[in-house]
Amino acid sequence: MISVPSPWISTGHLPTPEVVGHLVEEAHAHFASVEEGNVATYIPALAAASPRSFGICVAATSGASFNAGDWAVPFSIQSLSKPFLFALVCEAIGEQLARDALGVNSTGLPFNSVLAVERTVEGLSNPMVNAGAIATTSLVPGDDAAAQWRFIEDGLSRFAGRRLTLDAEVYQSERATNCSNKGIASLLSAHQQLWSDPATAIDLYTRQCSLLVTAQDLALMACTLANGGRQPLSGEQVIAPLICRRVLAVMVTAGLYETSGDWLYQIGLPGKSGVSGGMITVAPGKGALATWSPPLDEAGNSVRGQLTAHFLSERLGLNLFDSLPSSAS
C-alpha cells in the first residue's frame, strides 16, 4: 500500500501544565503505598533494588516534563531498550525488511519464551519479546561488534537526548546467568533467523539491556515516539514519523508480553515494560509517561507502573479509543 502524507492526524493535546503536574503528584501519592508484586531476582544484580523506589515522569511533546518521586534515579533499561532498538534498525534497513525479518505478531507467551521461536515454521516472533529482540540486535549495522555497539549506544542516547552509560555490575550479572537467552539465540540461528553469530548477538543484547536510564530519560525517549520521531529537547529527528507508527503498533501488540490484551483493554495506549521495573506509555502527538517501580506482577510488568498508567490515562484523557457523541448527530 502506498503511504500518502496527510495533513490530518488523529491526535490532540495534553491538559494544561498545572493539571498534568497536579495529577502526576496525585498518582505518586496514591500508589506509593501499594505493596503488591516482587522484585526480579533471575538477574542477581536486580534483586538488590528497593521495592519502595517509585518515580514518575510525564514528558510532553512541547518539551515540558512533570516529575514525582524517584524520577531522577538511574536503573538499567532492560526490555525498554527493545522498542527503541527496533526503531533504529527499521530506520537503518527499512521498516518492511525489518518486519519480514523479525515478525510483528503477538506470541501470547512470556517475555523469555524459547517456544516463541518454535511456535511458527519460520521461527518469527516480534521485537518486543526476547527472541525477536535478540534477532533485532543481530541486524544492527556495523563491520564488527564494536561498531555495532557504537550504533546501539549512540542511537539509544539520541532518543534520550544525553549520553547513556553502562551499569557494569548488571551487565556482568546478566552475562553470567543468561542461559535461556543463549538458548534462544542458538534456536534462532538454527532457524536462519539470526544475522550475526549468536555469541555476539547475546553480548550486544545484554549490554543494551544494561544501559542506565532514569524515568525522565525514558519519558523523553518515549515522547520522541509520540512526537513523530523528533526528540522534544534536542530537536533531533531521531527516526522518521512512519517508523514511529510501526514501533507503536508493535508495542500495542506485544509491549506487555502475554498480558498485552489486558493492558490495551484497560489503558488503550502503546506501552512497554521491563524487568527492572520501568514502564513507558505513549500518547501519540501528546507525550509519554514513564514510571519506575521494581515490584512486578507474574508476567514481569511493574505493578505500580500499571496502576499509574491506568490512573493517568483516564484523567489526562489519553485512551486512543475514546470518543464523545458528536453534537451534530
Give the separation between CA 295 and CA 303, rounded to whole angstroms: 6
Single residue of 204, 300, 306, 308 touching ligand GLU by CB under 6 A: 300
Q: Least Å distance between CB 106 and ligand GLU?
A: 15
The answer to whether 301 contacts ligand GLU (rule: CB under 6 A) is no
Single residue of 274, 277, 284, 305 touching ligand GLU by CB under 6 A: 274
The answer to whether 170 contacts ligand GLU (rule: CB under 6 A) is no
Give the separation between CA 41 and CA 43, rounded to whole angstroms: 5
Judged by beta carbon, residue 126 or residue 181, the one nearer ligand GLU is: 181
The answer to whether 111 contacts ligand GLU (rule: CB under 6 A) is yes
Q: Least Å distance between CB 245 and ligand GLU?
A: 23
Q: Least Å distance between CB 113 and ligand GLU?
A: 11
Give the separation between CA 21 and CA 65, rounded to whole angstroms: 8
Among residue numbers 206 through 235, which ones bind ligand GLU (CB under 6 A)? 209
The number of residues that bind ligand GLU (CB under 6 A) is 11
The answer to whether 181 contacts ligand GLU (rule: CB under 6 A) is yes
**496514591: which residue's cell?**
30
The answer to whether 137 contacts ligand GLU (rule: CB under 6 A) is no
Judged by beta carbon, residue 104 or residue 209, the one nearer ligand GLU is: 209
State the greatest distance between any 2 C-alpha atoms of the chain, in Å, as a whole number: 63
Cell of 69: 518521586
Give the separation between CA 152 and CA 108, rounded to whole angstroms: 28
Give the separation between CA 128 and CA 135, rounded to whole angstroms: 11
Single residue of 53, 67, 78, 216 touching ligand GLU by CB under 6 A: 78
Q: Least Å distance between CB 215 and ligand GLU?
A: 15
Which residues lie near ligand GLU (CB under 6 A)? 78-79, 111-112, 130, 174, 181, 209, 274-275, 300
